[in-house]
């Protein structure tokens, strides 16, 4: 994909700047209710209502997630939506016993993965200049970049899901090796974490666990 140049580039830049100014003019910040929905009042869930999540909603979820920033627009995350009984049974092989029922009951379980060969798509994703030499022949650098930015995209995914009215329950009690063998054998994809999606049964919740105050984790230099 050829990078835009000259007048075309200036038009694109001006349009992008106008879009940002328009968004800020329409909504300078979220109100507290919206912040509660996506973070401060939200919870990780372990039990689920028997209510399906539409494919259209998953498409919307991806489109929002994809807008989140990544280094050089690398976009290394890949999302595998496990919804079928067969897929759930395959995924269950990787889970610790206490997590199997949580996963099986969720309408959707997303495997949040990343592509180690993400850099081959950079001519499309970052057309300004060819950044492939930054990664070609450098597997450790590629893996670090893919993991870091794929994890960022996983966080965007959870926030976007909440913004769309879904509940989420991320899980790390599983074997990445088994998931990779079962779903990604012979590919450049690697699993990061799992995330159950659906409409929660709040009766399974316990009290919210404490968080550190600002002074414990933040400082100025």
pLDDT tens track for 153-169:
999 999 999 999 999 99
CA–CA distance, 54 with 69 (Å, rounded to integer): 26
Q: Which domains does the chain have, with CATH numbers?
A: 44-204 (3.40.109.10)
Which stretch of DSSP H or E encloses residue 78?
strand 77-82
For residue 6, what pLDDT is reported? 82
The stretch 212-220 carries a mean pLDDT of 98
For residues 82, 145, 155, 102, the Cα torsion angle rounded to the nearest 10 degrees is: 40
Q: How confident is the model at residue 1 (pLDDT cuts 50, 70, 90)?
A: low
Predicted confidence (pLDDT) at residue 185 exceeds the cutoff of 90 = yes
For residue 13, what pLDDT is reported? 87
Q: Determine the distance from the C-alpha atom of residue 45 to the mean position of all C-alpha atoms in its chain, rounded to a whole number.
A: 17
Per-residue model confidence as pLDDT tens digits over 94-141: 999 999 999 999 999 999 999 999 999 999 999 989 999 999 999 999
Q: Are 174 and 99 in contact (CB under 8 A)?
A: yes
Q: Determine the distance from the C-alpha atom of residue 105 to the mean position of all C-alpha atoms in its chain, rounded to a whole number.
A: 21
CA–CA distance, 110 with 30 (Å, rounded to integer): 27
Q: Is the dihedral of CA 82, 162, 218, 220 positive or negative?
A: positive
For residue 2, what pLDDT is reported? 72
Q: How confident is the model at residue 67 (pLDDT cuts 50, 70, 90)?
A: very high
Q: What is the DSSP letter of 37?
A: I
Give me the residue label for tokens 């869930």: 45
Q: Are 197 and 167 in contact (CB under 8 A)?
A: yes
Q: How confident is the model at residue 8 (pLDDT cuts 50, 70, 90)?
A: confident
The stretch 41-70 carries a mean pLDDT of 97
Q: How confident is the model at residue 9 (pLDDT cuts 50, 70, 90)?
A: confident
Give me the residue label for tokens 């690398």: 74
Closest by CA to 103, choosing from 90, 113, 121, is 90
Give the end-to-end CA distance of the chain in Å, rounded to a whole number: 43
- 3-class SS at 81? strand
Per-residue model confidence as pLDDT tens digits over 10-42: 898 899 999 999 999 999 999 999 999 999 999
For residue 5, what pLDDT is reported? 78
Q: Are 72 and 46 in contact (CB under 8 A)?
A: no
Across the chain, mean pLDDT equals: 96
CA–CA distance, 152 with 99 (Å, rounded to integer): 24
- pTM for the model stands at 0.94
For residue 128, what pLDDT is reported? 87
């Amino acid at each position: 994909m050829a990078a835009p140049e000259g007048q075309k580039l200036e038009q694109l830049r001006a349009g992008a700047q106008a879009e940002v100014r328009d968004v800020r003019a329409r909504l300078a910040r979220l109100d507290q209710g919206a912040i509660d929905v996506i973070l401060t009042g939200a919870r990780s869930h372990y039990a689920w209502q028997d209510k399906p999540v539409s494919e259209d909603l998953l498409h919307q979820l991806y489109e929002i997630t994809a807008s989140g920033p990544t280094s050089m627009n690398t976009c290394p995350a890949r999302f595998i939506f496990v919804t079928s009984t067969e897929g759930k049974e395959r995924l269950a092989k990787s889970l610790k016993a206490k997590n199997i029922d949580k996963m099986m009951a969720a309408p959707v379980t997303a495997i949040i993965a990343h592509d180690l060969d993400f850099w081959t798509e950079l001519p499309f994703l970052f057309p300004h200049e060819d950044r492939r030499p930054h990664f070609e022949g450098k597997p450790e650098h590629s893996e670090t970049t893919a993991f870091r930015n794929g994890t960022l995209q996983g966080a965007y995914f959870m926030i976007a899901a909440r913004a769309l009215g879904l509940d989420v329950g991320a899980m790390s009690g599983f074997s990445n090796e088994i998931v990779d063998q079962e779903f990604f054998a012979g590919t450049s994809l690697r699993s990061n974490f799992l995330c159950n999606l659906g409409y929660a049964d709040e009766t399974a919740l316990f009290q919210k666990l404490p968080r550190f105050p600002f002074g414990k984790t933040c400082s100025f230099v």
